[in-house]
């Protein structure tokens, strides 16, 4: 049943958001730190774990996949509700700062991508 | 007309699905026939939506009554929910492999954004440490900006300026990512995680990646989701303190 997939997704989402809220509280800020990340990890582990059961069938997954395919439409709706006026009329300082930061970020991507976690042999020594 | 308006405002979210469907449909046609497939439909739809947002005010199109449902569909609840759903296609191994690069990119991303924001603000004539901190934090994301600004007691117009810098960052990221993806080698899950950590604006990163290659979305979102938290942690504390020492 598709609803099982949706229910699983909501479960992971809420737990992740809760953990994100706890982490934020620990740091001392309002909101949520890494909630989406925690929820994603949970869903990945849950999916890996549940695969071995026969009742976790294609239709269950379809419940999750539907929402993942709604991702782009949601982003389009989000774009349509941005404060684009503010971005344009915020004056040169905001405009230059926003553009410069983004461009430098882009340029750093290929540099930092070179860092890879290599698997180290654990032979007891450091 | 009254009846129509009432119907729409009672069913705002559903109407938003219809609108987005129309925008994406039109983008698909444009992508295929006008751009011959060179620009992905998602990128056209997102840029088109940003242009449509100009017809509204602070909430974009959602300021117009009958389009108010777009704010629900495009709000953080649906955004976070659907982005979590994309994790279904992600692999834990790939996330582990990019772990170190991801963490480093987060720290570097927050630090350089702050520094560049401060330098530009300074060059534009701001000298007060609180002002500089608020603008530098805004250059991280439009959430880090106001949280930091409020925490250190910066003035509201400077906080607004910081938020604007963050909004500009989101929009520039959304538009440029699909255009420069190949040049910056943003083609693998590994690079997407680094990208998410460096840029950090969750909405910009995920929208940019969605328009580039939707397989990459979960990886970019994974690191970006920690960026704002890290920024809120560093900007009003260590960075503010260092800046105070530096400019006294």
Instruction: Report yes or no on B86 lying in a domain.
Output: no
Shared domain for A13 and A70, answered yes or no, is yes
DSSP string, A32-79: -SSHHHHHHHHHHHHHHHHTTSTTS-HHHHHHHHHHHHTHHHHHHHHH
Instruction: Report yes or no on B87 lying in a domain.
Output: no
The number of distinct structural domains making up chain B is 2
CA–CA gap between residue B31 and residue B33 (Å, rounded): 6
Shared domain for B63 and B175, answered yes or no, is no
Instruction: Report yes or no on B168 lying in a domain.
Output: yes
Instruction: Report yes or no on A123 lying in a domain.
Output: no
Instruction: Report yes or no on B81 lying in a domain.
Output: no
B161: pLDDT strictly greater than 90? no
Chain B positions touching A20 (Cβ under 8 A) are 225
Residue B116: predicted pLDDT = 93
Contact B196, B205 (CB under 8 A): yes
Indicate the range of A115-119, B5-9, B201-205 predicted with least confidence: A115-119
Q: What is the pLDDT of residues B38-87, one digit of tens each?
A: 667 777 887 788 889 889 888 889 999 899 999 999 888 898 888 788 88
Q: What is the pLDDT of residues B80-131, one digit of tens each?
A: 888 788 888 777 777 777 788 888 899 999 999 999 999 999 998 888 888 8
Residue A120: predicted pLDDT = 43
Residue B111 neighbours by CB under 8 Å, 6+ apart: B234, B239
Band (pLDDT 50/70/90 cuts) for residue B14 is very high
The label of the residue with tokens 């805004």 reads B138
Could you list the residue range(s) of the whole structural domain that residue A99 is in?
83-114
What percentage of residues in chain B have a pLDDT greater than 70? 98
Shared domain for A99 and A78, answered yes or no, is no
Residue B17: predicted pLDDT = 96
Alpha-carbon gap: B64 to the closest alpha carbon of chain A (Å):
10
Shared domain for A14 and A75, answered yes or no, is yes
Residue ending a domain, among B74, B105, B136, is B74
B21: pLDDT strictly greater than 90? yes
Instruction: Report yes or no on B85 lying in a domain.
Output: no
The label of the residue with tokens 């992508």 reads B31
A8: pLDDT strictly greater than 80? yes
Could you list the residue range(s) of the whole structural domain that residue B147 is in?
92-247
Tokens standing for B65? 């009554």
Instruction: Report yes or no on A95 lying in a domain.
Output: yes
CA–CA distances in Å: residue B36 to residues A51, B29, B180, B181: 40, 10, 19, 19
Residue B211 neighbours by CB under 8 Å, 6+ apart: B40, B42, B43, B46, B174, B177, B178
The number of distinct structural domains making up chain A is 2
Does the beta-carbon distance from B46 to A68 stay under 8 Å?
no
Does the beta-carbon distance from B199 to A80 stay under 8 Å?
no
Shared domain for A78 and A65, answered yes or no, is yes
Chain B positions touching A44 (Cβ under 8 A) are 87-88, 90-92
Burial class (CB in 10 A: 0-12, 13-18, 19+), A114: exposed
CA–CA gap between residue A77 and residue B70 (Å, rounded): 5
The per-residue pLDDT of chain B, averaged, comes to 86
Interface A-B: count of C-beta contacts within 8 A: 328
Neighbours of A61 (CB within 10 A): 18
- Choose among A44, A106, A107: nearest Cβ to B92: A44
Instruction: Report yes or no on B218 lying in a domain.
Output: yes
């Amino acid at each position: 049943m598709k609803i099982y997939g949706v229910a699983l997704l909501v479960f992971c989402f809420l737990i992740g958001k809760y953990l994100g809220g706890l982490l934020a509280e620990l740091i001392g800020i309002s909101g949520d730190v890494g909630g989406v990340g925690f929820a994603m990890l949970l869903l990945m582990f849950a999916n890996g774990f549940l695969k071995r059961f026969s009742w976790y069938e294609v239709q269950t997954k379809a419940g999750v996949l539907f929402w993942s395919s709604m991702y782009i439409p949601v982003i389009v709706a989000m774009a349509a509700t941005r404060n684009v006026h503010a971005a344009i009329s915020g004056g040169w300082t905001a405009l230059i700062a926003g553009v410069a930061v983004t461009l430098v970020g882009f340029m750093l991507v290929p540099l930092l991508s070179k860092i890879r976690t290599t698997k180290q042999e654990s032979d007891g020594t450091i | 007309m009254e009846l129509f308006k009432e119907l729409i405002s009672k069913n705002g979210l559903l109407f938003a699905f219809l609108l987005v469907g129309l925008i994406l449909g039109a983008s698909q046609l444009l992508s295929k026939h006008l751009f011959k497939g060179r620009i992905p439909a998602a990128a056209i739809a997102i840029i088109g939506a940003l242009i449509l947002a100009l017809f509204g005010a602070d909430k974009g199109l959602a300021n117009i009554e009958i389009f108010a449902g777009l704010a629900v569909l495009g709000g953080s609840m649906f955004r976070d929910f659907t982005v979590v759903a994309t994790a279904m296609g992600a692999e834990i191994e790939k996330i582990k492999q990019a772990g170190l690069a991801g963490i480093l990119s987060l720290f570097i991303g927050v630090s350089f954004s702050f520094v560049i924001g401060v330098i530009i603000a300074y060059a534009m004539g701001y000298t007060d440490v609180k002002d500089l901190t608020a603008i530098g934090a805004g250059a991280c994301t439009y959430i880090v900006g106001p949280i930091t600004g409020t925490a250190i007691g910066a003035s509201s117009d400077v906080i607004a300026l910081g938020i604007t810098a963050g909004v500009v960052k989101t929009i520039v990221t959304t538009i440029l990512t699909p255009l420069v993806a190949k040049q910056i080698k943003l083609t693998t899950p590994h690079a997407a995680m680094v990208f998410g950590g460096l840029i950090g604006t969750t909405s910009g990163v995920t929208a940019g990646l969605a328009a580039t290659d939707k397989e990459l979305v979960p990886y970019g979102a994974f690191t970006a989701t920690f960026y704002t938290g890290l920024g809120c942690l560093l900007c009003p504390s260590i960075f503010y303190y260092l800046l105070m020492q530096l400019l006294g």
